[in-house]
Structure 1
Amino acid sequence: MFKILFVVNNPDFFLSHRVKIALAAKEKGYDVHVATMQGESVKVIESLGLKHHVLMMSRSGTNPLSELKSLFSLYRLFKRVKPDLVHLVTIKPVLYGGIAARLARVPAVVYAISGLGFIFIRQKKGVDFLKGLIKYLYRIALGHTHSRVIFQNKDDCATLMQMGAVQSQQVVMIRGAGVDMEEFAPTLNEPPLPIKVTMVARLLKDKGVQEFVEAAKLDVEKKFVWQIAGGIDTGNPASITQAEFNNMQSYVNMLGERKDIAQLYAQSHIVVLPSYREGIPKSLLEAAASGKPIITTDVPGCRDAIIPDESGLLVPVKNAPAIYEAVMYLAHRADLRLSMGKAGRALAEREFAMPIIIDKHLAVYQALLEK
């Protein structure tokens, strides 16, 4: 029996983005292990029959000594568990886990590139030493001779190939982590007016939270209901503060963390995500499956979640007036909202449905393990 070890820093992220793939692998006969940081959700992972290992890692720490300890703890974990294949998800597990897997001689590695992080978004004057270091780590981490690198969009793939971190034979394109098409199903009719404009995301500045709020401020007559579902992420340096959250409530309904996203979309007319860059945003895939028209930014990942002018509209990044104008445009065109919603649902059924994503992952595992 082949042993697969998933490495994800946040247990909640594993449950929201990878658990169904892990369970499908278990159903297929693999011995599935999961390594995450400690948290309440670990109990849920264990209750599903998945073997859990505590990951010693900080999500956003940059202390060199602590980061070296994280890398060494992954090396020890790999030597102890002896996986036949490790599946590394999110940036730190990919970087540190990739290096540790090479040192521990793990037979096969799958890297999941679900975005390149805020380092590749920020604009810094002069020499960006941290970005240079990250590029160097990518070249080392992704250099396993028996591996596949799963990309969610072509832009991230091109960036890492230009850096010399990835070879063409490693590349696999899988668009997202999958959507439950039954849970996120379209409603027969739109909800009653007024128009509800919904954003679902962690409250990070690079998700475009501030631009969404600025767009809501332009609705001076309060014709529409503007709302954001998502929580403050204290472990992320790009998170808004509690004071900023409180101030935003004057213009936008700040809903906090929500578990009923499917129901929230069912009660919405338009979904907006003005992010600066993504792998491919799960919230938009779920919105497409829900049959909702989408407004998002013309950046890597976001533009990959829609068919421009068919299932949604693209706006320039960091441009609140453009968001407001796009909302106004869709708000006054019920037939267009309906046709875009149908196009989005069809796209989700073709590209993003969970069985399609699961089968593609299992095929990657099988191809590596057979060799």
Structure 2
Amino acid sequence: MKAVLFANTDWYLYNFRRALATSLQRAGYDVLLISPPGPYGNRLRGLGLRWESLPMQRRSLNPLRELALLWHLTRLLRRERPALVHGFTIKCAVYGSLAARLAGIPARVNAVAGMGYVFTSSHVKARLLRPVVRGLLRLALGGRDARLILQNADDVELFRRAGLVDPAHIRLIRGSGVDCAQFAGISRQAPDDGCPRILLASRLLWDKGVGEYVAAIRQLRSQGRMLQALLAGTPDPGNPAAVPEPTIREWVDEGLLTWLGHVDDMAGLLGSVDIVVLPSYREGLPRTLVEAAACGLPLITTDVPGCREVVSDGVDGLLVPMGNSDALALAIARLQDHPAFARQLGEAARRKARMQFDERIVIQRTMAVYAELRDLRAASAESSV
């Protein structure tokens, strides 16, 4: 059985789905990974996985370029003849599913991690695109041989209310999975000197709460608090909500934070910090929080879809209102002033990560969706004989 996994970056496939791809290989699948070109394609090949690049531009709205991409995808799928296509993120879900329909591929699986820029932004461009994307989603996600994987209960309800897909075809699988054993086994290196190291690690987008994080740190520093603020990640030029690099360098020059840029060794970084924050506006299910939870770190995040799947306020982390830098500053100060409470939250977060978000659970449930569609096709073939 052949499966095609389609994402909008090779970085995503390598960091979030390589465990799924290798597990599929071990289970006897012939796996092809496809994405726009990038430096992680060769890393995937180095793992013994097939990877091909696509002429795809994430921000493109050029109709001719988009039609060319759709035609390229359709020809690729006709050549490969997979049993199923699994697309990640909204654009890949739409294009992968449309190409699969045109190529006569029997099964389509789509995983949408959050609603993306078009649905979360209030910008005019996003509002204009919204009805178009809704129509494309209805066309792409429909059909008895399609399944939609969502990462949190809020998105499940949103898709049901919007009528974008038959609710019977929605499957809830929380996140892309984390190797909890790897993160639980790291050695903590953060010094116990009363100066906590605070980390925000994400794509550097305004809707990840980067502005609120900086404002909270500025407020805490004005109160004379000793702390070290870290920012990990890079601006995403393919996203209209990207934080400009000159703005980040201004914060660094002001002495507010240390900018680490892209970090490959997240386990090592998490072992060197005391608190992890993510003041995001909306998520599918944030991997950074799950990795930090697996390390036993106290978490602070926003009371929004996706984030509240990982954190229950006062139980395994703290929740603050979205867009509220004052509340974020208060939460950081609370953990700084009460280290025993912070440790209690971190241990509870570790237990929750192991029980709900381990990659073995996610991969098992994803492969069950594949098997469901395979069995449905087999039953259809028997009934037609």
**Which interval holds the TM-score relative to the shorter structure?**
over 0.9
Aligned residues: 370
Normalising by structure 2, what TM-score? Answer: 0.92
Equivalent residue number for residue 258 of structure 1: 263
Q: Given the alignment of the two structures, is residue 181 of structure 1 paired with residue 186 of structure 2, yes or no?
A: no
Task: Single out whichever of 58-67 and 307-316 deviates more from structure 2.
Answer: 58-67
Q: Which runs of 5+ in 1 are unaligned?
A: none
Q: 1:323 aligns with which of 322, 328, 341?
A: 328
CA–CA separation in structure 1 for the residues paired with 2:202 and 2:127? 28
Deviations 1:278-321 (A, max 9, x none): 10010001011110111101111111111221111111111111
Deviations 1:51-110 (A, max 9, x none): 222212111222222222222221121111111011111121111111221222211111
SS at match of 2:322: coil
Q: How far has the Cα of 1:14 moved from its partner?
A: 0.4
Task: Single out whichever of 30-39 and 234-243 deviates more from structure 2.
Answer: 234-243
Q: Which runs of 5+ in 2 are unaligned?
A: 377-385
Q: How far has the Cα of 1:189 moved from its partner?
A: 8.6
Q: How far has the Cα of 1:253 moved from its partner?
A: 1.0
Q: Aligned Cα RMSD in Å?
A: 1.7
Equivalent residue number for residue 38 of structure 1: 37
CA–CA separation in structure 1 for the residues paired with 2:178 and 2:203? 18
Equivalent residue number for residue 226 of structure 2: 223
Aligned counterparts, 1:266-305, within 5 A: 266-305=271-310
Equivalent residue number for residue 192 of structure 1: 192
Equivalent residue number for residue 54 of structure 2: 55
Determine what percentage of the aligned residue pairs are the same residue: 37
Task: Single out whichever of 318-327 and 50-59 deviates more from structure 2.
Answer: 50-59
Deviations 1:320-367 (A, max 9, x none): 111101101111111111110111011011101111111111111122
CA–CA separation in structure 1 for the residues paired with 2:359 and 2:10? 20
SS at match of 1:133: helix
Aligned counterparts, 1:85-234, within 5 A: 85-124=84-123, 128-185=127-184, 187=187, 191-193=191-193, 194-219=195-220, 220=222, 221-234=224-237
Q: Given the alignment of the two structures, is residue 361 of structure 1 paired with residue 360 of structure 2, yes or no?
A: no
Q: Are the aligned partners of 1:196 and 1:225 in contact in 2 as well (CA < 8 Å)? A: yes
Distance 1:127 1:345, change over 3 A: closer
CA–CA separation in structure 1 for the residues paired with 2:349 and 2:38? 35
Q: How far has the Cα of 1:126 moved from its partner?
A: 11
Q: How far has the Cα of 1:48 moved from its partner?
A: 1.7
SS at match of 2:276: strand
